[in-house]
Amino acid sequence: RLVVGYALTKKKVKSFLQPKLLLLARKKGISFIPIDETRPLSEQGPFDIILHKKTSKEWQRFLEDYHEVHPEVTVLDPPNAIEHLNNRQSMLEEVADLNLSSFYEEVCTPRQLVIMKDPSSIPTAVAMAGLTLPLVAKPLVVDGTSKSHELSLAYDEASLPMLDPPLVLQEFVNHGGILFKVYIIGEAIQVVRRFSLPDVNTYDLLNNVGIYRLPRVSCAAASADHADLDPRIAELPPRPLLEKLGRELRGRLGLRLFNIDMIRELGANDRYYIIDINYFPGVD
């Protein structure tokens, strides 16, 4: 019998601990036990695995202290490793350092710029960094709230001071409006297609001004797996590339439960961009 203690938000409990999963777990001899965060972990359990998605410093210390005393318990995943993904500046650093020449595919990250404060300085900072409009603006901190996944698209320089730091600005890359969500659970990899932002052409740049606030992009409701798509856009990234990417990032990030948001540059079938990495994503 395997005992999994879990510390999850109400939203994550509802989406993750589905009746089908719990039934399958029982058949496999796996029990899911909620963790009471008001009591010491040492008074609960015993646990074989602790599965969690909490971001508070207090919880991190709570868990790290427990793991020092009980190193035999598997923690999915270590708080210090998860923390790396809570900041979009550090999130993609490991990807930028990768050398993933696999056959002919190239994996990189969009050029980006971090703005900590003073919105009025954004146009100058963008010009000095040599970034090309349009730019995707994302909150710097990823804290599990829906706000941390909100995006804005800035079409013109004059509108940039309307943005709200701290944030990350990424160059927009045309990608056929399709994003690949690559789920990594241990050594298992699953890929799904999601509708994403539409491509931006010269006409759009000349005729659009301002900041466009966007609802959450690429959520489960935006599935494109059964859509009638151009095969060149719909084709999944090569399996050997994904396996190598998963292996490298597992080692570098120290994580076993995460997903990668990945796009293929339109007209460049061998160039992929990683634009986000999320810990313990929705695995519906």
Flag whether 172 is marked binding. Answer: yes
For residue 283, pLDDT over 80 is answered with no
How confident is the model at residue 7, as a pLDDT? 95
Does 83 map to a domain? no
Q: Which residue type occupies 179? A: L
Q: Are residues 160 and 232 in the same domain?
A: yes
178 is in an annotated binding site: yes
77 annotated among ligand-binding-site residues: no
pLDDT at 67 over 70: yes
Binning pLDDT at 50, 70 and 90, where does residue 2 land?
Answer: very high
**Same domain as 114, residue 196:** yes
> Is 12 marked within a binding site?
yes
Has 282 been labeled as part of a binding site? yes
Question: What are residue 267's phi and psi, to 5 degrees?
Answer: 80, 0
For 211, the domain range is 88-279
Is residue 43 in a domain? yes
Check whether the bond before 166 is cis (ω within 30° of 0).
Answer: yes
Whether 26 has a binding-site annotation, put simply, is no
Of 28, 54, 76, the domain-final residue:
76
pLDDT number for residue 30: 97
The predicted pLDDT at position 217 comes to: 64
103 is in an annotated binding site: no
Last residue of a domain, one of 76, 100, 127: 76
Count of domains in the chain?
2
* pLDDT recorded at residue 221: 59
Per-residue pLDDT for 27 more than 80?
yes
Mean pLDDT of 37-44: 90
208 is in an annotated binding site: no
Does the pLDDT value for residue 36 go beyond 90? yes
167 shares a domain with 32: no
Q: Does residue 39 share a domain with residue 131?
A: no
pLDDT of 224 higher than 90: no
Q: Is 181 annotated as a binding residue?
A: yes
136/258 same-domain check: yes
269 annotated to bind ligand:
no
Q: Is residue 130 part of a domain?
A: yes
Q: What is the CATH number of the domain that holds 36?
A: 3.40.50.11370
Q: Are residues 221 and 121 in the same domain?
A: yes
Residues 115 and 58 in one domain: no
pLDDT at 22: 95
Whichever domain contains 231, its CATH number is 3.30.470.20
- Asked if residue 54 belongs to a known ligand binding site, the reply is no
57 belongs to an annotated ligand binding site: no
Residue 156 in marked binding region: no
Please indicate, yes or no, whether residues 166 and 207 belong to a single structural domain of this protein: yes
Pair (16, 101) in one structural domain: no
**Does the pLDDT of residue 13 top 70, yes or no?**
yes
Question: Is position 68 within any domain?
Answer: yes
- 267 annotated among ligand-binding-site residues: no
Q: Is 112 one of the annotated binding-site residues?
A: no
Q: Per the domain annotation, does 82 fall within a domain?
A: no
Residues 152 and 55 in one domain: no
Does 44 map to a domain? Answer: yes
Kindly tell me if the per-residue pLDDT of 253 is higher than 80: yes
Pair 213, 262 in one domain: yes
152 is in an annotated binding site: no
Query: Each residue of 50-64: pLDDT tens digit?
Result: 999 987 888 988 999
Cα angle for residues 17, 21, 25 (degrees, 5° grid):
110
Last residue of a domain, one of 51, 76, 101: 76
Q: Note the pTM of the prediction, 2 decimals.
A: 0.89
Indicate whether 113 pLDDT > 90: yes
Residue 101 in this model has a pLDDT that exceeds 60: no
The pLDDT value given to residue 106:
85
pLDDT 10s digits, 163-210: 999 999 999 999 999 999 999 999 999 999 999 988 998 878 878 888
The answer to which of 39-43, 78-82, 229-233 has the lowest mean pLDDT is 229-233
- Give a yes or no: residue 28 inside a domain: yes
Q: Is residue 81 part of a domain?
A: no
* Nearby residues of 34 by Cβ (< 8 Å), 6 or more positions away: 5, 6, 7, 13
**Residue 261 known to bind ligand:** yes
Q: Is the pLDDT of residue 87 over 60?
A: yes
Mean pLDDT of 35-44: 91
**Claim to verify: residue 158 and residue 42 sit in the same structural domain:** no
Residue range 119-150, pLDDT digits in tens: 999 999 999 999 999 999 999 988 767 777 78
Say whether 53 counts as a known binding-site residue. yes
